[in-house]
Chain A
Amino acid sequence: MKIIVGLKQVPARDSVLRTNASGRWIDESDLAFEINEPDAYALEAALQLKEKHGGEVVVLTAGPPGAAQSIREALAKGADRAIHIEEENLGHRDTLGLAGLMARALEPEKPDLILTGLQSDDLGYGQTGVVLAELLGLPHATIIMQVEKLDGSIRVKRELEEGWFENIEIPLPALLTIQSGITRLRYATLMGIKKAKTKEIRRVAAADIATSAAPAVEISRVYAPHKTKQTEILTGNAQEAAAKLVERLKFGARVL
């Protein structure tokens, strides 16, 4: 099976975020970046399928040149090669524009399966995969917990709300968005890191394949959330804070 993994690089989970001068995005200058966690699970699912059925795992990333860090990490974990759609600032593209770039970059590939994480930890739209499937004319399923390969198709376990699941059979080629936490993530081995240096990264300039469509939606402002509740922060050392909290729970909220 030839499996494409859509993988995004995002600010590290514990980053302290500030809006930039434009007020329309964050200041990325001092941030550390990492593989979007849900995409790391998509990569893991792809590597496990390859180990079972053979084939090739190809990473597809759209992002600035610095996103090569996450691509190398994916290659070190076992992906065979990568396609990097390079653009310094992808921020002016919406999901459709971005998925359009990915669809164009995949034209020569003819994959059997495309996997992505179910959402990104930065924008969190949770739809790049579905939009890409539609642009490529592929069937899809979202929030997938398990993938089982059949003859010319796959059976997947899809999560529904409140503890419900369903199995779906989908003909190949297809696109799946993978749920986080479904398995344990592997670490890159020293050998893997060494090998990654020799693996192919096909670089595609976004400008060369860009479609001219104007964005359908745009972020006009990014800001700290307004508090919906008046939160009382209890200060002092652990003992003092605990004592204050118990007093509030006893006499304020009356739950003790």
Chain B
Amino acid sequence: MSILVILEQRGGVWNRMSFETLAAAVQMGRELGQPVSAAVAGDQVAALAAEAAAYNIEKVYALDHPLLARYTADAYTAAFEQLVRSAKPELVLLPHTYRVRDFAPKLATRFGRVLVSDAVGHRIEEGRPVLVRQLFQGKLNADVRFASAAPNFASIQAGAYRADLLEQGRAAVESFAPELGAGAIRTQPGEPFRESQRGVDLTAAAIIVSVGRGIKEKDNIAVVERLAQALGGELAASRPICDNGWLPMERQVGSSGQTVAPKLYVAVGISGAIQHLVGMKGSKTIVAINKDENAPIFEVADYGVVGDLFEVVPALVEEIRKAKG
């Protein structure tokens, strides 16, 4: 009986969500009285495994294989399938990254199980974990139970648990050599690339004014731009705005754009889908302006105005100018 965390690294660099997930596992492990192990896969991962072993967990599995150097769903699924069959954990936790979204459902299917994806929290009921996840783009929450015997699988949303609560320790490192054949890998990935150099570093901005679907038309963006100017902040956007080409991709905040934590984040006409929230919920003060009082953005906002942005934003610009003299 144990919890296994599958950590994620690319090119020797950790995905920071790995340790949030490890923190989730340690908390669950304490509540359930189960030891926690972690696993890292790649080619030559001994150094990474040693880093992970500096936390207060039982064991770190180092999965080394040349065919794990670059991610493919086939190789990663096969490697972790072998590890899970051998280590027999009760629960497998993964960070809800793009990579995990690609292979974890396949891994769970190998065991006749269903991944409970993108969990934001948990409770223990009758000695078993119940995971909390969001439905309808965050409008509702659901408690999800595992109805099957071990192993079960869940992935954890960015920012749901705090990695800084992990305690130092000394875990054993165990090598695990998966059996992989090049013939079983059907996809051929190329080198990762970026489309363009980033001209705007939103992560350095102290104030960000962000615009979403509620703006309706490209020409209306000027309304929100004036607010950004009045506040002396950077203009940003949620994904649909950049998809439409109304603002450049480099101004996108969210899981596929930049992750920001400014002093002030003003969300205008943004409903607050999970993909956007993970990119901004660490902001110090959050203001939401939205016509829908049930919009999930109000869940993370410190101050909210429920109303028509085309009335509220110009009024706000005027008040800010007055206040600034």
Residues of A at the B interface (CB closer than 8 Å) are: 11, 14-17, 19, 26, 94-96, 99, 118, 121-127, 130-131, 133-135, 139-143, 158-171, 180-182, 213-234, 237-239, 241-243, 245-246, 248-250, 253, 255-256
Contacts and interface: CB of A to CB of B under 8 A. Distances in A.
A131 B255 CA distance: 23
A94 B192 contact: no
B123 to A, nearest CB: 11
B102 A130 contact: yes
B112 A216 contact: yes
Contact of A219 (B106, B143, B312): B143
| Secondary structure call for the B interface | mixed
B191 to A, nearest CB: 7
B135 A122 contact: yes
A-B CB proximity, top 3 nearest: A181-B243, A127-B105, A242-B315
A233 B198 contact: no
B82 to A, nearest CB: 16
Contact of A143 (B98, B108, B285, B293): B98
Given A125-B117, A143-B101, A241-B307, A229 B301 contact: yes
A222 B142 CA distance: 4
B114 A95 contact: yes
Contacts of A171: 186
Interface string B95-115: 001110111111011101111
B98 A160 contact: yes
B315 to A, nearest CB: 4
Contacts of A165: 192-195
A139 B186 contact: yes
14 contacts: A11-B136, A17-B140, A95-B114, A130-B73, A130-B106, A140-B73, A140-B102, A165-B195, A213-B112, A220-B145, A226-B141, A227-B299, A233-B293, A249-B287
B147 A216 contact: yes
B308 interface: yes
B113 A96 contact: yes
B311 A238 contact: yes
A130 to B, nearest CB: 4
Contacts of A222: 135, 140-143
A61 to B, nearest CB: 19
B97 A161 contact: yes
B299 A96 contact: no
Given A140-B73, A222-B142, A131 B189 contact: no
A104 to B, nearest CB: 15
B138 interface: yes
B318 interface: yes
B206 to A, nearest CB: 8
Contacts of A239: 315, 319
Contacts of A99: 109
A234 B304 CA distance: 6
Interface in B266-325: 274, 284-288, 292-294, 296, 298-308, 311-312, 314-316, 318-320, 322-324
Given A216-B148, A217-B147, A124 B135 contact: yes
Contacts of B104: 127
Interface string B114-140: 111110000000000010011111111
Nearest to B110: A134
Nearest to B263: A255
Contact of A130 (B105, B144, B286): B105
B175 interface: no
B292 A14 contact: yes
B146 A217 contact: yes
B107 to A, nearest CB: 9
Nearest to B312: A238
A200 to B, nearest CB: 31
Contacts of A143: 98, 101-102
Contact of A170 (B187, B301, B307): B187
Contact of B189 (A19, A127, A166, A213): A166
Given A161-B98, A243-B319, A234 B305 contact: yes
Contacts of B205: none
B2 interface: no
A124 B207 CA distance: 31
Nearest to A219: B142
A127 B99 CA distance: 12
Contact of B106 (A134, A223, A224, A248): A134
Contacts of B103: 130
A233 B303 CA distance: 6
A215 B147 contact: yes
Contacts of A230: 302
B109 A232 contact: no
A232 B303 contact: yes
A163 B194 contact: yes
A220 B130 CA distance: 9
A206 to B, nearest CB: 18
A224 to B, nearest CB: 6
Nearest to A15: B136
B243 A250 contact: no
A250 B298 contact: no
A245 B140 contact: no
B86 interface: no
